[in-house]
Amino acid sequence: MQKIAPCLWFDGNAEEAADFYMSVFPASRIATTLHYTDAGPGPAGKVVAITFELEGQEFMALNGGPQYTFTPAISLLVHCESQQEVDHYWSKLLDGGEPVACGWLRDRFGVSWQIAPNVLLEMLRDPDREKASRVMAQMMKMVKLDIAPLEQAYRGE
């Protein structure tokens, strides 16, 4: 068990969300499912929370109700090794959601995700600020991130 794990608040569709996320990430599993009891506050037997893992990261999906919704103030960053991974996670998580900008999207549940190639993060950390600046400018023009133009900007092409 991780010391710290995010708890995502859903309005009655925590099971659907957990199933969706587990369909996107190959190394995933449900760890526990908690149900309401006769003590409430929901109907006895209905799911109150699901703890699940995606790529080794623990999450809790809570059926908390309509009081709160997701905002881009919190997002989940997916580190990608290749354009193929970027394309895979982008298309899967975008199903029923909407693209935003600079590798960000909002999924069908309203959760914000950043689908980022690791090479981008490396280029942005380059001590040569001119190279990093060209990469940042190129990234700012993109919705889904494309490694080839980012690398071209890095090389000054």
Give, in words, the CATH class of 1-68.
alpha beta
The model's pTM is 0.93
Question: What pLDDT was estimated at residue 43?
Answer: 87
What pLDDT, in 10s, does the model give residues 74-104?
A: 999 999 999 999 999 999 999 999 999 999 9
Q: What is the DSSP letter of 126?
A: -
User: Domain 70-157: what homologous superfamily?
Assistant: 2,3-Dihydroxybiphenyl 1,2-Dioxygenase, domain 1 (3.10.180.10)
Question: What pLDDT was estimated at residue 106?
Answer: 98
H or E stretch at 31 = strand 28-35
Q: Where in the chain is the domain with CATH 3.30.720.100?
A: 1-68
What pLDDT, in 10s, does the model give residues 96-155?
A: 999 999 999 999 999 999 999 999 999 999 999 999 999 999 999 999 999 999 999 999
The pair of three-digit structure tokens given for residue 90, joined into one six-digit string? 């982008």
Q: Where in the chain is the domain with CATH 3.10.180.10?
A: 70-157
Residue for token digits 């993060």?
121
Evaluate if residue 11 carries a pLDDT over 80: yes
Answer whether 102's CB lies under 8 Å from 145's CB. Answer: yes
Q: Spell out the residues 6+ positions from residue 36 whose beta carbon is closer than 8 angstroms to its own.
A: 42, 43, 44, 45, 46, 47, 48
